[in-house]
Amino acid sequence: MISDILIVGVGGQGIILASDILSNAALRQDLNVKTTETHGMAQRGGSVVTHVRLSNSDIYSPLIPKGNVDVLIAFEPLEALRYLDYVSKETFIVVNSNPIKMHDYPDMDSILEELGGRNALVVDALELAGEAGNVLTQNIVLLGASSSHLPLKREILKETIKQMVKRAVDENLKAFQLGVKAWNVP
């Protein structure tokens, strides 16, 4: 078993924390893990991408080959489009519906249309994070929404969140559960 997860977004959205949570949860389940991240100009809202590879056998590269992503978690809609060459017809895509708009940002409907026909879930992570009590938990909402497609037990993910999140632990756990419910999975 190998599971390739690509997390994309822009600096400041909690992408690195999300990949660290996935990696640590996998280690708690005795899986092999390889990760790599590219920050770009993250401090200025630049593109950030993390490759997370999980397996019960050896992993020889931290980079996911194009077309091989099992789960794409896009914290920002336009970033989902930038990495579509990594997905296949079987890829499960979770997309935050809240763009970080910059100059000449495409219409949201056209972005969603481009993602159409794929196995995608569009989540209003901002609304759900607000419902959880902290808008900064959008990353955890998206982890919850993707959890049914990850080879990780939800209880271990929740325990890892408790271990790794330094503030607003209850809000983060609630955000995770709201993300799970966004996919209507028990």
* Strand duo 69-74 + 32-38: pairing: unpaired
Q: What is the pLDDT of residue 29?
A: 97
| 165 neighbors 175 (Cβ within 8 angstroms) | no
* Segment holding 176, helix H or strand E: helix 169-182
Distance between start and end Cα atoms, the chain: 24
Q: What is the pLDDT of residue 125?
A: 97
Domain that holds residue 176: 2-182
CATH number for 148: 3.40.920.10
Calpha distance 164→159 (Å, rounded): 9
- Over 80: is that where the pLDDT of 186 sits? no
Give the residue-averaged pLDDT of 77-89.
93
Confidence of residue 45 (pLDDT cuts 50, 70, 90): low
Give the tokens for residue 116. 């159409």
Q: What is the pLDDT of residue 41?
A: 57
**Number of independent structural domains in the chain:** 1
The alpha carbon torsion through 29, 31, 34, 37 (nearest 10 deg) reads -30
Confidence of residue 39 (pLDDT cuts 50, 70, 90): low
As a whole number, the mean pLDDT across the chain is 91
Higher pLDDT, 179 or 115: 179
